Amino acid sequence: MEPAQEAEEPPGSPALPAEEPQGGQPAGAPPADGPLPAAAGRGRRGAGPKGLPGRAARGRGRRTPGRRGGEEGGRAARRPRVTVDSSKAKTSLEALKISLRQLHWREYPFGRRLPCDIYWHGVSFHDNNIFSGQVNKFPGMTEMVRKVTLSRAVRTMQDLFPLEYNFYPRSWILPEELPLFVDEIRMMKDSDPSWKPTFIVKPDGGCQGDGIYLIKDPSDIRQTGSIQSRPAVVQEYICKPLLVDKLKFDIRLYVLLKSLEPLEIYIAKDGLSRFCTEPYQEPTLKNLHQVFMHLTNYSLNIHSGNFIHSDNVNTGSKRTFSSILCRLSSRGADVKKLWSDIISLVIKTIIALTPELKVYYQSDIPAGKPGPTCFQILGFDILLMKNLKPMLLEVNANPSMRIEHEQELSPGVFENVPSPVDEEVKVAVIRDTLRLMDPQNKKRKDIQCQTSEHVSEANEDLLDIGPADGPERETTRTLEPELPSLCLKQVFPKYAKQFNYLRLVDRVAALFIRFLGVKGTTKLGPTGFRTFIRNCKLSNSNFSMACVDILYIDITRRRNGMGIDHKESGMCLQAFVEAFFCLAQKKYKSLPLHQQVTLLVDFCEYQLAVLDEKRRAVCHADGPHLTPAAHPSLLGRSASASKLSDYRNHR
């Protein structure tokens, strides 16, 4: 991306669309999602002007020479409509229906015998057995963003890059880390008697605020029988959040994970701000249990008598994020820096999640077997501190896409009432996700993807979420002139150059997947682990194969004892990463952990590249001679050889 060509935005409105929408919308608001112009509604196949039959319209088009634009429009109108199976959409159904009407796509609300282009699931990848097309869920995503699993993934990255991952509160996993939590808090209190922390306990599988509570001391943890069967995460509570109208609030941002390989991430330019319903005070023993003051969950605060349903995006208990940004900008806050920090947080979090997601993906959709491609909308819950530093609260695999809320008409009688704030944000996110995933534009998207690889070479210090530019914007205008510009902005691979160095665990996961052996499994057996050690030449006189077996048994037994996954025996990816870190520390002493791991990954990749070339040489001994250009593995070996040379020079 060339910064000089980036469109300048008014301060405080990073969520502005690329083009000024018609109808006098206020600055900073995303395009309206109301009915499309009447001309768009007449875009059905063969429809001519003023409702004339399609045959007559096409006849006039042939008799009139030089009307190339009209003929191209006719061809575009006659292309097959994209088909969407919405039979499993559940709570997102109404927003999805509006989006499909705006796109003029064909919906199958009860399913279809023939394959559809897109399957829209409400909960899980496994809602349907799908062998083609695209599905809006990744296998394993629900498991990956559970509070315990997310905390483990982020902690791994914090071990490697502590400064880059300081946006996630310090966490302990219960019940296995309860003694550690007690000891660490006691030591910190002894060293600083004035320190009076607050902690928040979150059940692993909880949602909508269920089971969350605050404590002042480790002894306050509710040690019931359920803590063994229902693990939890305890985190440092953020006591100094940013307040608006004296109320605490959080931000729900929508993130599209468009692809795992290659990694492609989009962020919505607008989101929702969910407010508490009682004025905030720092936690004390007296107010610790006032959930309407401390917890921002919409599903909790809606039951408060102070909850305000508003048709205005700038007021009420649920507002647009862009309205908050405009307010902050009017106070002199640097909202561009804030957006940059949020984009960085999102990309780093996705990078922490992708290694294990790839393990799940190869298990459900093995290479070489038929299966759908996947994409998914994630809900990032972010809290702004008083100094505008964004902190990650959690990631939702199935963010609510409801665009209505319940209103009590009389005692015990409720009615679903449209929510303009929800509709404005959520319909745009679903509609533009579908536009990006349009299978009929795949060839065009491939060209854009190649373009974005060049764009990713941009070296910008401040990440931006301004208007779309370049081929993406021009193509959208050409093919969909009646629709607003995309509300989703690509942030990866656009900013890949700034974050690729963090993708270290991705490379470790690639080694893990290579030695899994049996397709469809997610755990490495002892034979696979020994093969990994042998092929990478990691055993020696100081580290025998007997030591390898002890390492495998020790880590695997401890991980299985944590109750992470008993469905199949063996070493999971997290256990393999722990073993890999241990090997790196043995092999390269007196270096920071991320350098040790980088050197060991380089070493393993080189050894495997040499091994692969030897095997191919045996297979092709009697075959034609292959030049490096015709044999990608030789090029890979050259790259690995240069890595090994760097590693030797470093040593």
Q: How far apart are CA 473 and CA 99, in angstroms?
A: 20
What tens digit of pLDDT does each residue of 402-451 get? 998 777 666 777 778 888 999 999 999 999 999 999 988 765 555 555 55
CA dist list (Å): 575 to 230, 368, 387, 554: 21, 27, 37, 10
Most confident among 249-258, 306-315, 469-478 (mean pLDDT): 249-258
The answer to whether 257 and 174 are in contact (CB under 8 A) is no
Kindly state the tokens that stand for 266. 């989009």
Cross-strand bridge partners of residue 390: 384
Tell me what pLDDT residue 66 has: 46
Diameter over CA atoms, the chain:
91
Tell me what pLDDT residue 198 has: 93
Least confident of 11-25, 180-194, 374-388: 11-25
Residue type, 212: I
The answer to whether 377 and 429 are in contact (CB under 8 A) is yes
Tell me what pLDDT residue 208 has: 62
Answer yes or no: is pLDDT of 196 > 80: yes
| 3 state SS for 461-488 | CCCCCCCCCCHHHHHHHHHCCCCCCCCE
Cross-strand bridge partners of residue 235: 171, 200
Tell me what pLDDT residue 53 has: 40
Beta strands in 102-205 (DSSP E): 106-108, 118-121, 134-135, 171-174, 199-203
Q: How far apart are CA 466 and CA 549, in angstroms?
A: 53
Q: How far apart are CA 142 and CA 396, in angstroms?
A: 8
Kindly state the tokens that stand for 224. 């019931």
Q: What is the DSSP string of 375-426?
A: -EEEEEEEEEBTTS-EEEEEEESS-----EEEEEEETTEEEEEE-HHHHHHH
The torsion angle over the Cα atoms of residues 113, 78, 472 and 28, rounded to 10 degrees, is -90
The answer to whether 404 and 416 are in contact (CB under 8 A) is yes
What pLDDT band is residue 633 in, cutting at 50, 70 and 90?
A: very low
SS3 313: coil
What tens digit of pLDDT does each residue of 90-147 get? 777 899 999 999 999 999 998 888 889 999 987 767 656 777 889 999 999 999 999 9
Q: What is the DSSP letter of 241?
A: B
Nearest to residue 435, comparing CAs of 220, 224, 266, 617?
266
Helices 68-78, 54-63: axis angle to 10 degrees equals 150
**pTM of the complete model:** 0.81
Tell me what pLDDT residue 453 has: 47
SS3 274: strand
Nearest to residue 257, comparing CAs of 138, 161, 116?
138
SS3 63: helix
Q: How far is CA 427 from the centre of its chain?
A: 19
Nearest to residue 343, comparing CAs of 486, 260, 462, 458?
462
Start-to-end CA distance of the chain, whole Å, equals: 37
Answer yes or no: is pLDDT of 315 > 80: yes
Kindly state the tokens that stand for 179. 């003694």
Tell me what pLDDT residue 193 has: 85
Tell me what pLDDT residue 618 has: 82
Residue type, 243: L
Q: H/E element holding 236?
A: strand 232-236
10 Å Cβ neighbour count for 166?
Answer: 12
Tell me what pLDDT residue 442 has: 66
What tens digit of pLDDT does each residue of 241-262 get? 999 999 999 999 999 999 999 9
Tell me what pLDDT residue 475 has: 44
Cβ density class 214-232: b for 16+ within 10 Å, e for less: bbeebeebeeeeebeeebb
Q: Mean of the per-residue pLDDT values for the chain?
A: 80
Phi-psi region of 240 (alpha: psi -120 to 50; beta: other; left: phi over 0): beta
SS3 168: coil
The answer to whether 295 and 205 are in contact (CB under 8 A) is no
Q: How far apart are CA 276 and CA 293, in angstroms?
A: 6
SS3 130: coil
Sign of CA dihedral 636, 639, 642, 648: negative
What pLDDT band is residue 541 in, cutting at 50, 70 and 90?
A: confident
Tell me what pLDDT residue 30 has: 38
